[in-house]
Amino acid sequence: MKKLAYRAVVYSLLLTAYGFLLVSCGDKKDPKMEEAGKIHLEAMEIEETLHEQVEGIDSLKIVLNDKKKTVTDAAAVASIDSTVAALDAVAKSFEEWEENLVEVPGLAHEHHHHEGEEHHHDHKPAPDVSGDQMIEIQKEIKANIQKIKSDLASAEERVKKVL
């Protein structure tokens, strides 16, 4: 009888220890990574609002180049050329931004595919960094997309002026 009681105690201790290990090694949310995730999602919301506009840059360039054929003033031609260059710079920056996007570990979010299009950006695997470092990475990513948004707005104002 003592053996049976002894085994019961040992098994219950083992089960308790195993349960403790499961709980202690379970999904602990790092508050810093959660903050980095929020910043990442904010950047992705900005990307979503810009995507169609950036996709329309080629169409704007066609319209600008057609307009250029109808003007004879050197200043007007130069203005159109610099506007096309500004649009090209925005498109290039946007493409580079997508290529350099870094995922936050454990962040679950949806990718919005635009009608008739493939997924345009691939997240780089999350680097092995601290929560504070990930926050800084995501802040830089967000600042970059905000700058692209500002640059696009400036380029669109230039388009309105030359058309």
Residue 111, pLDDT > 80, answer no
Interaxial angle between packed helices 57-70 and 131-162, expressed in degrees from 0 to 180 and rounded to the nearest 10: 30
pLDDT per residue as tens digits for the range 139-150: 999 999 999 999
Instruction: State the residue for tokens 């635009």.
Output: 114
Of the candidates 122, 107, 100, 133, the residue with the CA atom closest to the CA atom of residue 41: 107
Q: How far is CA 11 from CA 5, 7, 23, in A?
A: 10, 6, 18
Residue 52 near residue 33 (C-beta atoms within 8 A): no
Does the structure show a pLDDT above 60 at 14? no
pLDDT digits (tens, 9 = 90+) for 53-105: 999 999 999 999 999 999 999 999 999 999 999 999 999 999 999 999 999 99
**DSSP 8-state symbol, 124:** B
Name the average pLDDT for the chain: 83
How sure is the predictor about 125, in pLDDT bands with cuts at 50, 70 and 90? confident
Tell me the pTM: 0.76
Classify 69 as helix, strand or coil: helix
Q: Which of 10-14, 91-95, 115-119 has the lowest mean pLDDT?
A: 10-14
Domain spans of the chain?
Answer: 30-162
